[in-house]
Structure 1
Amino acid sequence: MKQLEVLQKEEKELYVIEETIEKEEKQVKRIKESYEQHFHEARYFLDNLCYLFHKNEQSTFYQSLMDEYSQESRRILEHLEIDETELHDQKKRIVDLLEDINYEKRKLLVEEDTNEY
């Protein structure tokens, strides 16, 4: 019976961890969506600047600025995607552990039932 209590305690702890990971996943997703929106707005602004100064001698400056901005934005999005993937992997490990605990609990309950007879 003590073993079952230990498994239940561990299961509760894992559910709390899983819930925390789900909250973090949602937060990363919201940040990513917000950043993508800002990225597109800034990209549109830079495109307009580039168009306005296309005939200017500094047109290459605006083009290089836009390229640098795009590159940095892609890096940020890649980091957010990596965070999202890591959280997903953590959650999968927790779910696997929960499945293992459920299996152990069922096994213990079956053993108790067979011992009673």
Structure 2
Amino acid sequence: MKQLEILQKEEQQLQSKEESIANEEKQVRRIKESYEQHLHEARHFLDNLCYLFHKNEQGTFYQSLMDEYSQESRKILEHLEIDETELHDQKKRVLDQLEDIDYEKRKLLVEEDTNEC
């Protein structure tokens, strides 16, 4: 019975950890979606500026600005995607551990039932 209590305690800790990771995952997803929306709005704004730069023969300045903006935006999105992937992997590992504990608990309960008979 002592082993079962240990497994239940470990299971509770893992469930708490899984919940925490799931919340972080949602937060990263919300940040990513918000960033993508801001990225779209900023690109629209910069596209509107394009006309003014070309009109004033400042096309090279605009192009360098757009290149830098695109590069930095890609970096940020890549970092968010990496964070999202790492959280997903952590969550999967925790869920696998929970499955292992569930298996061990069932095994202990079956052993107890056979010992009582």
If the TM-score is normalised by the length of the shorter chain, which range does it land in?
over 0.9
Instruction: Measure the CA separation in 2 of the matches of 1:4 and 1:38.
Output: 51
Q: Does 1:29 align with 2:29?
A: yes
Q: How does 1:48-87 map to 2 (within 5 A)?
A: 48-87=48-87
| CA deviation string 1:18-40 (max 9, x = no partner) | 00001000000000000000001
Q: How does 1:1-117 map to 2 (within 5 A)?
A: 1-117=1-117
Deviation above 4 Å: which 4+ runs of structure 1?
none
How much does 1:51 deviate? Answer: 1.6
How much does 1:57 deviate? Answer: 3.0
Number of aligned positions between the proteins: 117
Kindly indicate whether structure 1 or structure 2 has the higher relative contact order, using CA contacts under 8 Å at least 6 residues apart: 2
State the one-letter code of the partner of 2:31: I
When structure 1 is superposed on structure 2, of 48-57 and 7-16 the one drifting more is: 48-57
Instruction: Measure the CA separation in 2 of the matches of 1:63 and 1:108.
Output: 67
Identity of aligned residues (%): 84
Q: TM-score, normalised by structure 1?
A: 0.97
Q: TM-score, normalised by structure 2?
A: 0.97
Instruction: Measure the CA separation in 1 of the matches of 2:2 and 2:47.
Output: 67
